[in-house]
Structure 1
């Protein structure tokens, strides 16, 4: 393989690892904010466990990203010493928690995409990518079952829970569309499977699929909503206040 070809492969692989690692890291941070505030003890524990699963996945992807980059940056450097314009997480993962309906709809739309991506990456030509994807896939299957169940419970629940869930679905839908505009994975092929999966859950939840086909985009170029910079300020403050500290 020529040096140019190798460089192209490395850049593509680096971008893929950042997209998956950053998305898992930012969503983990969002879910971690629910710790101690869940609507029930069981939910509090489940949300925290999901956040920890995603954090573990983020560490694996970002460690591989640092290895591929070859610039001496490890998982901590990539997590704590990049600004918002350098992050490549999906926009949906940085959206605020809102109420419980907003948290669970956000989780479901992401989980449905995440499962499909990891299944595809389980056959990746790079054995390191395939191994991380296979491990993460087992965890994400649980995440998806749980978030889909909550969407159904809230959508097909009381009049108020139905209204809140429909409102948050309409709000987040344009951010979900961005998941299929990335270059590293065949978004078009994933979309049909994602649509079928999501439509089945929405039908059980008596929710209406939003009619809009417009998709928010920009994270692939480091263009994010205002929510990410605020999240990073909180997530990175200790590391930046005490650089090099260990405990």
Structure 2
């Protein structure tokens, strides 16, 4: 592996880890606040899936960096400007409809992206994808069912779901952006050309939203910047809470 590819792969693994840990934390904020017990447990399980995924990506990033850092350093010792997660993942949990619509958008994305990552020439990335694919099938089934129930439910649930779709839509464009790092790895057969997933994602999401009696928004606005460290204020507040114990007791093991 050349130094250029190694550095790009380390950055790529870090990005994927950031996406997972941030979304995992947002999902975990629903624990003890779910609408009923089974859903409360389901939220906890999905959050753990994403945190576990983040650990694998961070461990690999630390291995490639080879500078003494470990997975905890990546998760807890970087500030918001050093994080490279997609903006969609960091938005507040909002109400139940908001979280479920965001989860649907993310789940369809991963349902398309992970099978491509499974084909990676990088054995570690491929192995992580193999494990995550199994989890994502469950995640998508769950989020799809909830969006259908909310969209085609009561007048209030429909309005809340439609409001969530409209508020989140502009953040989905960033899912399919490619910069030099990702293009380099895609050309090398290591990373995923996510730009090529946009049409399939839109088709799958549109079918689900239509079935849920929800309207697919027009592409009238888009927000980007997460991959270069430009985040909403929400990430800084989230990291303050997520990192406080580790930063207060550096080096502590339990």
**What's the counterpart of residue 16 of structure 1?**
12
Q: Where in structure 2 are the equivalents of 1:133-152 lying within 5 Å? A: 133-152=129-148
Question: Are residues 1:211 and 2:218 paired?
Answer: yes
Residue by residue over 1:178-208, the C-alpha shift from the partner in whole angstroms, topping out at 9 and shown as x without a partner, is 1011332323211111111101101110111
The correspondence for 2:160, drawn from 161, 164, 171, is 164
The correspondence for 1:197, drawn from 192, 200, 204, is 204
Contact 2:24–2:47 (Cα < 8 Å) also in 1: yes
Question: Are residues 1:116 and 2:112 paired?
Answer: yes
Contact 1:177–1:213 (Cα < 8 Å) also in 2: no
CA drift at 1:235: 0.3
Residue by residue over 1:45-69, the C-alpha shift from the partner in whole angstroms, topping out at 9 and shown as x without a partner, is 0010000010100000110111111
Contact 1:182–1:220 (Cα < 8 Å) also in 2: no
| Partner Cα distance (2:131, 2:73) in 1 | 24
SS in 1 for 2:238: helix
**What's the counterpart of residue 45 of structure 1?**
41
Q: Aligned-pair RMSD on alpha carbons?
A: 1.1
| Partner Cα distance (1:13, 1:220) in 2 | 14
**What's the counterpart of residue 250 of structure 2?**
243
TM-score scaled to structure 1, two decimals? 0.96
Structure 1 alignment gaps of length 5 or more:
none
Contact 1:177–1:214 (Cα < 8 Å) also in 2: no
Residue by residue over 1:121-149, the C-alpha shift from the partner in whole angstroms, topping out at 9 and shown as x without a partner, is 00000111100101111001110110011
CA drift at 1:175: 0.9
Structure 2 alignment gaps of length 5 or more:
183-191
Runs of 4+ aligned residues of structure 1 deviating over 3 Å after TM superposition are none
Residue by residue over 1:94-145, the C-alpha shift from the partner in whole angstroms, topping out at 9 and shown as x without a partner, is 1011110001001110111112111100000011110010111100111011
| Partner Cα distance (1:15, 1:90) in 2 | 14
| Partner Cα distance (2:67, 2:59) in 1 | 12
| Partner Cα distance (2:65, 2:199) in 1 | 33
TM-score scaled to structure 2, two decimals? 0.93
